[in-house]
Structure 1
């Protein structure tokens, strides 16, 4: 993932560190992204590669109405010949239109060690309810995912020729998507195991 042992980018991941185990081969680390799934697939498969990797992730973050230390993430990866940022943008526009019925997005430059260039994508949700104001902090815009072109070093590290292949990746939190779709004002409600709240989503499963 283009993260050398002493790279400063390791400090930005909000990793939960746990005590070292006395058992051999038992040291574990709670993942902050599902990117580890993508890397294993890249190591064992040849392009073209198209994957979707859902999973639970853990981050040492303050718990608030908008963020939690445990959440579910979905990451997408596409590697082939001739893949460009334009392909990534078109995919994201299509996704937001199909998922939300909206296609007004904005891409802001960002930094992720495993993509270059990198961006964060916001969707314009509007301000139609009190929940909208709370979730978007009164702007109508909400960040829903990070994305970018796969860094050539990541391709090299998985024995994929960056001179021949390129690709894009994106990742989003499922809970934030659910908050928008179902007008859930506080992400903590999804983790409280309140049956009265959870019963509303029987038809979704």
Structure 2
């Protein structure tokens, strides 16, 4: 049996001849260069790179060639198509730049003209208040830290010295995230405070630590004039050598003066929190009745329930057990922590008498605060 005669080529395809491929390439390049706008360029693209374009049809003819001739023809057609695609990309950039420059001139808007929309927009006051509080603490050398709102049970409770039997872990206070089987034993909660951010910070940072942690928190409270199930908190944490309760008191006194001025009375009273020892509550004089409703049935005050004071938040010296759980030596370091309610701060700063006004979405509530940034 004789071997195949590879030198004999019985197939000659006109569209694959070098001069024909060059002609198709040059025609495509000329059409692309002549495109005056993006619409014309799109037409040139379809005509010279589409499925029915000359180069695409020539590429299909390669299959008719004998094996030893396919590589040379494929390289020749591939180079031509590549040159066409590169020319398309360059021309598109040029035309888009021309269009953008033309739009800037033809569609210019004078932003100094009076606006014609009613009503004018406004930021929510809790947003601007959060930023103001952050600025106040960063001016004192604190950093801003954030964390997830759906939190691990260990970080929300155990790391903060809230044992398994603590009442704050019951369903009356905490929103538990159901597990895959629908059970409540998922180990995941909607965070009840922003303290887990403090735990995360201590676990991943070395003292000295000075952070402030703003964010939303969730508890199963009834919505009324002074409570809401979804509320904002800003918590602070300082861990360093030699930190004492005096440092905590000085920090919060400075913050209260910056937020409310010196004319609103403040009081400290002892309290209990598992994650701080000793612990205290900071109260502000009721901004509505100024204490005149206390013992006065003729002038009841629904904002403070005629007690004369509104709780601002809790605080205290960080419990050594919390430092140990987060990997910090309590023999060397001490610290303080505090948690303040954003809504309570807004109520006292701006005279908002009912917390429900903050969450109902009525623009008549936000508009008076304007676009303060």
Q: TM-score, normalised by structure 2?
A: 0.50
Q: What residue number does 1:2 align with?
A: 161
Aligned length: 202
Larger Rg: 2
Residue 21 of structure 1 contacts residue 27 of structure 1 at CA under 8 Å; is this kept in 2?
no
Residue 196 (structure 2) pairs with residue 36 (structure 1): yes
**Cα distance in 1 for residues equivalent to 2:163 and 2:181:** 26
Residue 234 of structure 2 contacts residue 339 of structure 2 at CA under 8 Å; is this kept in 1?
yes
Q: What residue number does 1:101 align with?
A: 261
List alignment gaps of at least 5 residues for structure 2: 1-159, 294-299
Q: Name whichever structure is richer in strand by fraction.
A: 1
**Cα distance in 1 for residues equivalent to 2:286 and 2:353:** 14
Task: Compute the displacement of 1:134 (Å).
Answer: 3.0
Q: What residue number does 2:342 align with?
A: 174
Residue 234 (structure 2) pairs with residue 70 (structure 1): no
Q: Name whichever structure is richer in helix by fraction.
A: 2
Q: What residue number does 1:51 align with?
A: 211
For the structure 1 residues 190 and 9, does the alpha-carbon distance in structure 2 shift closer, same or farther, using more than 3 Å as the test?
closer
Task: Compute the displacement of 1:22 (Å).
Answer: 4.9
Q: TM-score, normalised by structure 1?
A: 0.89
Task: Compute the displacement of 1:8 (Å).
Answer: 4.6
RMSD: 2.4
**Cα distance in 2 for residues equivalent to 1:9 and 1:118:** 17
Equivalent residue for 1:143, pick from 311, 321, 326:
311
Equivalent residue for 2:249, pick from 89, 99, 110:
89
**Cα distance in 2 for residues equivalent to 1:135 and 1:4:** 34
The within-5 A match list for 1:154-173 is 154-173=322-341
List alignment gaps of at least 5 residues for structure 1: none
Q: What residue number does 2:150 align with?
A: none
SS of the residue corresponding to residue 255 of structure 2 reads: helix
For the structure 1 residues 115 and 12, does the alpha-carbon distance in structure 2 shift closer, same or farther, using more than 3 Å as the test?
farther
Q: What residue number does 1:113 align with?
A: 274
